[in-house]
Amino acid sequence: MPETRHAIELTDVTKVYDGDRHGPGLPPAVRDLSFAVAEGEFFSLLGPSGCGKSTTLRLLAGFEQPTSGRVLLRGADVTDVPPARRDVNMVFQAYALFPHMSVAENVAFGLRVRRVKGAELRSRVAEALRAVRLDGLDERRPAQLSGGQQQRVALARALVNRPAALLLDEPLGALDLKLRKEMQLELKAIQARTETTFIYVTHDQEEALTMSDRIAVMSGGVIQQIAAPRELYERPATEFVAGFIGTSNLVALRIDECVDGRAVMRLGEHGHVVAPAGAGDEPGTVLQVTVRPEKIALAPLADEPDCSSVRATIRDVIYLGSSTELLVELPGGETLTVRRIEHDEVAGHAPGDPVTLYWRARHSYVIAS
């Protein structure tokens, strides 16, 4: 691996918090984490709360020491280096700005520690404030700024040090939805402009999909899958990923026949599901099949007559503004979500009505068990 120098590399990192005197040790917060982040990459750690994503970030920052494993920063082992001497900077969830200092002083803090002085100090602070579009607010105190502006100060305070990687701990968590959407795009733009490696922790799958080059989905202290957003969405590696990224339409079915690399699963008189067959698939194998809600059509597909077609019963029709969702029940009792953009398509349907669902074989994604 020495030929490509990664910004960050973790090898087999496990963190176990010591049990205090009131109880025994806890299960590992993170277990056997190994991943590498390239220079300039926007890398997200995504998972529900308690999945170990924040612990991973704190391990990278140096606020926590791994129980085992190594942390490498630009190829150098920093496992035992304290946060103050690690070339990474963190953007905290609640910003953690210095309330007694002006915006400019906040941004200058890291530079002053590094003994940057005079004209260089001023120009770098101004440059950082310009990068986050906060020029002109230098003399304000953090308390005089809005949440979004404080967020930018925190970003500038970290970016000004030109760290090997910027660690962001749910930085948009405290902002309202509209501002969050704006900041997502802006963060991405700042990241591209400054060519800084971002490690971004979030529990919001949409946020991760919008911004990231690659996403590591975490659950229970382990990484479930590391992939680009599109691959993660369309080819979830585990049941957890399928469920966490978007709506999971997960059905367990037995293969009835395999023809031309297609596995066909019949549901009696209610139709059949077609999926691409894997290497070891043969009649009798049980597959976990998932299909994304927006891939399901309510009319036969002209160009793929032998696609999946399943007769089901509508349980609920939910109008969502930009789309409409149907909750349908399969003969086996499983519930599927169908999302259609065109409201006209759905107009005639009401709860209790029978409906036939169609989707392409390649949209039936089989999850490795």
Partner 1 sequence: MTSTAIPPAVAVVQGGAAKAVRRRHRLLWLMLAPALTYLAVFFLAPLYQIVRFSFGLSHLSTTDAIARIRGEQLGFTWSLWDALLGKGATLRVLGASLDVPLIGLALGLAALLAAALLGPRLRRGGTAVSAAGFVALALPFFTIPAGTTLLRVAQLRSDSQFLDLFFKSVSMAMTTSVFAVLIAFPVAYYLAFVAGPSRYTWLLVVIAPFFTSFFLRIIAWKVILGSSGLVNSGLFSLGVLEQGHPLSFLLYSQFTVIVVLVYAWAPFACMPMFVALEGVDRRVHEAAADLGASRLRILFKVTLPLAAPGLVAGFLFVFIPTIGEFVTPLLVGGTQGFMFGNEISDLFSVAIDWQTGSVLAVFLLAVVVLLTGSTSRFLRGQDL
Contacting positions for partner 1 (CB under 8 A): 61, 63, 82-85, 88-90, 92, 94, 96-100, 109-110, 113-114, 139, 143, 157-158, 161
Smaller CB separation from partner 1, 139 or 342: 139
CA proximity to 167, closest of 155, 179, 176, 178: 155
Residues pairing with 222 in the sheet: 219
CA proximity to 241, closest of 255, 231, 254: 231
- Rounded distance between C-alpha atoms, residue 351 and residue 325, angstroms: 12
Query: How is residue 95 annotated by DSSP?
Result: B
Min dist. Cβ of residue 102 to partner 1 (A): 9
- Rounded distance between C-alpha atoms, residue 135 and residue 128, angstroms: 9
Q: What SS3 state is found at 23? A: coil
- Rounded distance between C-alpha atoms, residue 54 and residue 91, angstroms: 12
Min dist. Cβ of residue 146 to partner 1 (A): 18
Smaller CB separation from partner 1, 93 or 210: 93
- Rounded distance between C-alpha atoms, residue 23 and residue 260, angstroms: 58
Smaller CB separation from partner 1, 113 or 350: 113
For the chain, state the CA radius of gyration. Answer: 25
Smaller CB separation from partner 1, 17 or 63: 63
Smaller CB separation from partner 1, 153 or 330: 153
From residue 159, how far is each of 92, 138, 325 by CA, in Å?
A: 13, 16, 42
Min dist. Cβ of residue 83 to partner 1 (A): 5
- Rounded distance between C-alpha atoms, residue 19 and residue 178, angstroms: 41
Min dist. Cβ of residue 1 to partner 1 (A): 27
Min dist. Cβ of residue 155 to partner 1 (A): 12
Min dist. Cβ of residue 90 to partner 1 (A): 5
Min dist. Cβ of residue 179 to partner 1 (A): 21
Smaller CB separation from partner 1, 124 or 214: 124
Min dist. Cβ of residue 353 to partner 1 (A): 50
Smaller CB separation from partner 1, 157 or 363: 157
First to last CA, the chain: 30
Smaller CB separation from partner 1, 194 or 356: 194
Residue partners of 364: CB distance under 8 A and separation at least 6 = 273, 274, 275, 276, 289, 290, 291, 308
Query: How large is the angle between the packed helices 118-131 and 177-194, nearest 10 degrees?
Result: 130
Q: Tokens at residue 240, please?
A: 């957890």
- Rounded distance between C-alpha atoms, residue 142 and residue 154, angstroms: 10
